[in-house]
A and B are shown apart, each in its own frame.
Chain A
Amino acid sequence: MKTKVALTGNEAVAQAMKQINPDVVAAYPITPQTEIVQIFSSFVANGEVDTEFIAVESEHSAMSAAVGASAAGTRAMTATSSQGLAYMFEVVYIAASLRLPIVFPVVNRALSGPINIHCDHSDAMGLRDSGVIQLFSENAQEAYDNMIQAVRIAEHPDVRLPVMVNMDGFITSHAMDVLEVIDDETVRNFVGTYVPEDYLLNAENPISMGNFDMYDFYFEHKRQQVEAMKAAKEVIKEIGKEFGRISGREYGLVESYKLDDADVAVVVLNSAAGTAKGVADELRAKGIKAGVLKPRVYRPFPHEEIREALKGIKAVAVMDRAETFSTCGGPMFADIRNALYDLKNDIKVVNYVYGLGGRDLRLEHVEQVFEELENIRKTGRVDETVKYLGLRE
């Protein structure tokens, strides 16, 4: 049974957590994520879930307690944003290397300094090499859907990795949206009960976790994490199909919007994909063959799907909501260009950094991107590889 409701992104994620009813949640408040744990706490206080809720004293401890709880054999979650994720940094790497299926929503927010509470993706990008699976969500519906699927992806025996579910701070987290929620029983059946293989609270078979790993094994363990990431691609697709059967919304690694016959395309994550689709529609009415590629999964990186989706495009703009300070553009730009290199199709790829610290991305900005792509397509010339949108220069 499905019900249409009006919820903010934070409410939608808290709702998903309520339906999943995890064994343990450890959390700490940070804007703009705070509402998730606040709402979830009220579910605990009112007996709507029987989760053990740990109100820890920091994000470092939130992820540490989630690691302890997950290692002990439970389904554990936390949630954070920005500085909170930065503060968890080392423990996220440990969670991934211990192969613990911790699911945690991240409400994307700019990293300090200067301090800023609004949206960009610098927090998530800071952990792109940590070994966690990263899902991105265009709107509240996708954030809700991703949370439910994340549990199954994380716990799959071929994967066993933490999953981070990203959504844009304020834009998605605080804006009221219309979405469809699935009934509790269907969600509970979909996620099932977590059955760990080895865990601390198994009296029959005690285990040591987090051992000191020297040069004779560390490398192999890292390689095994890569294999798990490879396996995750298939698992994410399978679970996306299965989720389609209970919700009517099927998910893959990427979403291609009007790319089949497109000449120009933008690649963009999270809420800006919605803006880009709207602009593409308008431009199509004017005869410009515009399309949008929205990676839903950023780690593992869907090279094959991206190559497939963009192989016929003449000019591509990668839109990054984060800087790398490499002076060669944003993080996704490097990944996309890398993915397209082997095609040898002479696709022109440019980069637009946008929206840092919550700077608005307006329709006219995306129009400008498409116009410049058209120009590149016609002239075959790229004047500037990396540009900044909506910036006073």
Chain B
Amino acid sequence: MATLKELSKVQERFVGGHRLCAGCGHGISVRMILNAVEDANVVVGCATGCLEVASTIYPYTAWNCSFIHNAFENAGATISGVEAAYRALKKRGRIDRDFKIIAFGGDGGTYDIGLQSLSGAMERGHNIVYVCLNNEAYMNTGIQRSSATPVGADTTTSPAGKVIPGKQQPRKDLTAIMAAHNIPYAAQTAIHSWQDVHKKAKKAVEVEGPAFINVLSPCPRGWRYNTEDIVEITRLAVETRFWPLFEVENGKWKLNYKPKKYVPVEEFLKPQGRFRHLFKPGNEHVIKAIQEEIDRRWLALLERCGETPELPPR
């Protein structure tokens, strides 16, 4: 595994001048992921969303590599076309350089509106990497719920009201859905651990065939935390098992991180404005339900990974 010092020498492909918010996970995620391609040529495809609008305001671009944005729901199909073009030009001897083809989409563009396009790309076996920058809501349009939004979160379309305390439905397990496509590599990672992101990005880039990475990429506007706390918030998501780190290589599930002790989910919820209402008297049952769901999914994940299904020691 490369050291940070070595990685700092890799050519930057996402550079300064973009308009992402302070404390946004996307810039960090993109740089960490693209670091893994080292010195290969890259084409980046991007779904409509925060990353695209903040990094490509004409006549400027923050992308120091080829980049294409098409529409909201078609990043998967668009890079399928780029990858087919790559194979066609190679086959016909019109290019001789090697390229890595990587797509980025937010959770809205991936879990929801882009799911069909992504599923098609994965099923057809294109040699691509699709990265979901998951900030758990439609942030670019102003914090609307998506199917990646966790239970209880206050968003503008699942507001915490007098009767309904935020989002009611548990989130979709997209990483498992992608793994069910029997692709060679699918993984879940988070930016508090550059080693974890780097290892997974490297595997995804190097594997022959489609790979999917789901990155938890916090949003200070939507989650309402202090911008400087982004890494800490991400770490708490993993420590509370709210966002487990795992990978699925050729159908084999592997857990990448086991918290040493049982950290209650409140620790992750408390610093965030989107969950503030859950700490008001009368909403204890919501937090209890969130914890139960986390524990249930954790045990199921351990079982899938061939580990003893047990909760961390309290």
Contacts and interface: CB of A to CB of B under 8 A. Distances in A.
A355 to B, nearest CB: 33
A213 B58 contact: yes
Contacts of B94: 73
Contacts of A217: 58-59
Given A26-B84, A72-B43, A217-B59, A212 B89 contact: no
A124 B121 CA distance: 28
Interface residues of B, number: 48
B119 interface: yes
Interface in A195-236: 200-203, 206-214, 217
A191 interface: no
B57 to A, nearest CB: 5
A259 interface: no
Contacts of A182: none
B251 interface: no
Interface string B185-211: 000000000000000000000000000
Nearest to B117: A61
B227 interface: no
B84 A52 contact: yes
A54 B124 contact: yes
A102 B9 CA distance: 40
A76 B85 CA distance: 8
Contact of B120 (A58, A94, A208): A58
Interface string B58-70: 1101011111111
A111 to B, nearest CB: 21
Contacts of A94: 70-71
A64 interface: yes
Given A56-B77, A212-B53, A24 B120 contact: no
Contacts of A54: 80-81, 84, 124
A72 B45 CA distance: 11
Contacts of A206: 41, 63-67
Nearest to A217: B58
A306 B91 CA distance: 46
A108 interface: no
B284 to A, nearest CB: 44
Centre residue among B77, B80, B86 by max chain A CB count within 10 A: B77
B57 A65 contact: no
Interface in A79-122: 90-91, 94
Contacts of A23: 85, 88-89, 92
Interface in B56-111: 56-59, 61, 63-71, 73-74, 76-89, 91-92, 94-95, 97, 99
A207 B66 contact: yes
Contacts, number: 173
Contact of B77 (A64, A71, A73, A203): A64
B124 A201 contact: no
Given A24-B85, A94-B71, A55 B124 contact: yes
Given A68-B78, A73-B89, A74-B89, A200 B69 contact: no
Contact of B68 (A60, A62, A209): A209
B120 A211 contact: no
The contact size tier of chain A is: 35 or more
A52 B88 contact: yes
Given A55-B124, A72-B43, A200-B43, A60 B82 contact: no
Contact of A52 (B52, B85, B95): B85
B116 interface: yes
Contact of B82 (A200, A207, A214): A200
B123 interface: yes
A51 B58 CA distance: 34
A67 interface: yes
Contacts of B91: 50, 52
Contacts of B92: 23, 50
A91 B117 contact: no
Contacts of A200: 43, 66-68, 82, 85
Contacts of A71: 68, 81-82
B88 A74 contact: yes
Interface in B238-286: none
B69 A210 contact: yes
B88 A57 contact: no
Interface string A290-304: 000000000000000
A198 to B, nearest CB: 10
A68 B77 contact: yes
A16 to B, nearest CB: 19
A66 B78 CA distance: 7
Given A57-B123, A201-B95, A211 B74 contact: no
A200 B65 CA distance: 9
B70 A91 contact: yes
A14 B90 CA distance: 25
A344 to B, nearest CB: 44
Given A72-B82, A210-B67, 4 more contacts: A26-B80, A64-B117, A208-B56, A210-B68
Interface of B: 41, 43, 45-46, 52-53, 56-59, 61, 63-71, 73-74, 76-89, 91-92, 94-95, 97, 99, 116-117, 119-120, 123-124
14 contacts: A26-B80, A56-B80, A61-B120, A64-B80, A67-B81, A68-B81, A71-B68, A90-B71, A91-B74, A200-B67, A208-B66, A208-B67, A209-B67, A209-B69
Which 5 pairs of residues, A with B, have the shortest CB-CB distance? A68-B81, A57-B120, A65-B81, A72-B85, A61-B77
